[in-house]
Structure 1
Amino acid sequence: MQMLYNSDSYIVVQFDERNADAWAGTNLQRGGFEIVDKFARKEIFIEGALAASFELGVQALFDEGRSSEDELDDFIEGYAAMGQTSVQMH
């Protein structure tokens, strides 16, 4: 788990899990991104093709030189809007 982004509006955490199953002789990789909307107090975990699309979109912003906090927040907002899970304090 690695925090990638933390603004006034959003937190983005990357999860990269590798599970080695010695019995089955497999090495599975599963990961994704958790996006927390601080104002809406909602979160979403994206993985698979959606996570790959998110990662490519963020990289494109940096490649285009559009990596200000406002531009990143605008991009993240499109994914955060899908969040339905309320953030719970433990």
Structure 2
Amino acid sequence: MHTLYDSDTYSVTHMLANAVATDATPDVSLDRTEPVRIVPTLARHGFEIVDKRANKEVYLDGSWAELFQQHISAWQQNTPTQEEVEDTLEQYAELAQNPVLVH
């Protein structure tokens, strides 16, 4: 999980579903302990966009995440103003249906 953007209005977090967890498990046949890779069955990444004003969030995955990744790549090529970033995030935030809950 990486926070990509955080302002008074929006927060964007990149969720990495492809992250590999390791657990130390004993291997009886080799009489040693080696890390075991646990790979998710649906290895997908996504982006969480939180609209702090509306107190709502949207999670982008699949084709939506790919489209948003294209915006990020374009921003890396041509550094946008904060206003340009927030205008783009506002368009995605219109998809937000889930209220932000703190556990």
TM-score by length of 2: 0.73
Shift of 1:64: 3.3
Identity %: 37
Quote the Cα distance in structure 2 between the aligned partners of 1:28 and 1:82. Answer: 23
Render the CA deviation track for 1:25-61: whole Å, top value 9, x for unaligned.
xx75211000000000000001011101011023223
Question: Which structure would you say has the larger Rg?
Answer: 2
More helix as a share of residues? 1
Quote the Cα distance in structure 2 between the aligned partners of 1:28 and 1:85. Answer: 22
Shift of 1:62: 3.7
**Which residue of the partner structure matches residue 91 of structure 2?**
78
2:101 matches 1:88: yes
Shift of 1:69: 1.2
Quote the Cα distance in structure 2 between the aligned partners of 1:6 and 1:64. Answer: 19
TM-score by length of 1: 0.82
The 3-state SS of whatever aligns with 2:17 is strand
Quote the Cα distance in structure 1 between the aligned partners of 2:97 and 2:42. Answer: 28
Moved over 2 A (4+): 61-65
CA RMSD of aligned residues (A): 1.7
Quote the Cα distance in structure 1 between the aligned partners of 2:7 and 2:90. Answer: 12
Quote the Cα distance in structure 1 between the aligned partners of 2:42 and 2:51. Answer: 30
